[in-house]
Amino acid sequence: MWRLTPIEDKHLVRALKGIDRTPHPATSNEAFFLKLLALSPASVRAYLQAKAALANGMLTLLQREQIALAVAEINGSNYCVATHEQAARHAGLGDKEILSARNASASDPNTAAMLHFVQAVVLQRGEVSDTDFSTVKNAGFAEAEIIEILTNVILNGFTNYFNLLARTDLGQLLERPDGTARLAAKTMPACSCAQ
């Protein structure tokens, strides 16, 4: 059972009033997360404004979802993994690409370099080696893009930690009160991502 009590829809609408919500693949899982986060109006506003700013940045939606999957897997946030699997499918990633991203890898060399860098940032808490930094830079990522990668890591780390702290339970979200399934979310098996 989660530790926090979600706010009602009408209170969520009030908390989100005036916030630029740049279109992104919203999922019912994310809507529930927002109902928990909106217990702190300042926190939900900060999250949504940061997410909107990054949506208008240099990284593509696919890159942002791949980063989110890698970070959620490393941090052990099953709720975020499931949410980002759903969003990644909506954005056009297939099952194999999603599983690769969860393992911080990809068949495309540039994406693989980005995800290896993401993994290094998370596991080494920002203290990446010169080799890790050079690898992502040599893969064609400009310094501004590297900063955006870091910002995406931090924003996703926040959502991972929040959902771990709140004990957001995906199983309860997938069930209606009558016991039938609410979502057809398909979660893949755990990855072998180094922790």
Percent of the chain whose pLDDT exceeds 70: 77
If one counts the domains in the chain, the total is 1
Q: How far apart, in whole angstroms, are the C-alpha atoms of residue 64 and residue 70?
A: 10
Model confidence at 179: pLDDT above 50 = no
What is the pLDDT at residue 28? 58
Beta carbons of 98 and 105 less than 8 angstroms apart = no
46-81 pLDDT tens trace: 999 999 999 999 999 999 999 999 999 999 999 999
In a domain, 4, yes or no: no
| Residue 77: domain span | 62-175
Model confidence at 30: pLDDT above 80 = no
End-to-end CA distance of the chain, in Å? 26
Model confidence at 21: pLDDT above 90 = no
- Overall size of the chain counted in residues: 195
Q: How far apart, in whole angstroms, are the C-alpha atoms of residue 4 and residue 100?
A: 32
In a domain, 112, yes or no: yes
In a domain, 19, yes or no: no
In a domain, 36, yes or no: no
In a domain, 111, yes or no: yes
CATH of residue 171's domain is 1.20.1290.10
Per-residue pLDDT band for 186 (boundaries 50, 70, 90) equals very low
Residue 54 phi/psi, 5-degree rounding, is -70, -30
Average pLDDT of the residues of the chain: 84
In a domain, 108, yes or no: yes
Contacts of residue 131, Cβ cutoff 8 Å, sequence gap at least 6: none
CB count within 10 Å of CB 20 equals 11
In a domain, 86, yes or no: yes
Per-residue pLDDT band for 175 (boundaries 50, 70, 90) equals very low
In a domain, 189, yes or no: no
